[in-house]
Chains A and B, each alone.
Chain A
Amino acid sequence: AQSVTQLGSHVSVSEGALVLLRCNYSSSVPPYLFWYVQYPNQGLQLLLKYTTGATLVKGINGFEAEFKKSETSFHLTKPSAHMSDAAEYFCAVSTGFQKLVFGTGTRLLVSP
């Protein structure tokens, strides 16, 4: 069965600093992997996805993630944090019928 582990329920960075949100997955089949962002009391917005092909995936708002099969990881990064990046971030793996298994989320806090 597929599963997702997100290390760190909260990550704090200063504005302009590197953002690194960690995600490790477990999957018995080649995974489809996703990062979603959630702002308070809103739905989830897709940041980026990995299906096949290039392992470095670029998404919206300057985020990118690298699929590393040997490490079963799909960490999310952004070179320079903005105040508007403060939100909750979810990593997910897709199972059959495009069902998603989510991690427990990481809340990103950005300080001036």
Chain B
Amino acid sequence: SQTIHQWPATLVQPVGSPLSLECTVEGTSNPNLYWYRQAAGRGLQLLFYSVGIGQISSEVPQNLSASRPQDRQFILSSKKLLLSDSGFYLCAWTPRGTEAFFGQGTRLTVV
């Protein structure tokens, strides 16, 4: 069966520090991969998606970037965090079908 791993679960980082969140999927190949962010009191917003290695599409301009160095690995990064980057970050994957499957999320607090 397929599983998705996302880490760390929580993270407290100072303003201006770098960020790296990692997501990996097991038990499948060539998935579509996604990063969503959930800000306090708001719904989920799609940040990036990827349909293959090295193929990244950005949905909203922001202080973050994403990379897909391997088929089942998706990384969310920032060179310098802002206070507004705080939120709950969720990685998701879809088979070549319909529904998305989500990781357990990373709670990022920028202080």
Contact = CB atoms under 8 A, between A and B. Distances in A.
Nearest to B107: A41
B7 interface: no
A43 interface: yes
A86 B42 CA distance: 18
Q: Which of A36, A44, A46, A98 has the most CB of B within 10 A?
A: A98
Interface in A30-61: 32, 34, 36, 41-46, 49, 51
Interface residues of B, number: 27
Contacts, number: 58
Contact of A34 (B46, B99, B103): B99
Contact of A97 (B32, B36, B42, B99): B32
Contacts of B62: none
A94 interface: yes
Contacts of B94: 98
A43 B35 CA distance: 12
Interface in B26-49: 32, 34, 36, 42-46, 49
A5 to B, nearest CB: 11
B60 to A, nearest CB: 12
Contacts of B36: 100
Contacts of B43: 90, 102-105
Interface string B77-93: 00000000000101010
B47 to A, nearest CB: 11
B49 A46 contact: no
B73 interface: no
Given A43-B6, A46-B99, 10 more contacts: A41-B88, A42-B104, A43-B90, A43-B102, A49-B99, A97-B51, A97-B57, A99-B46, A101-B46, A102-B45
11 contacts: A41-B107, A43-B90, A43-B102, A43-B103, A44-B44, A46-B100, A90-B43, A90-B44, A97-B49, A97-B51, A102-B44
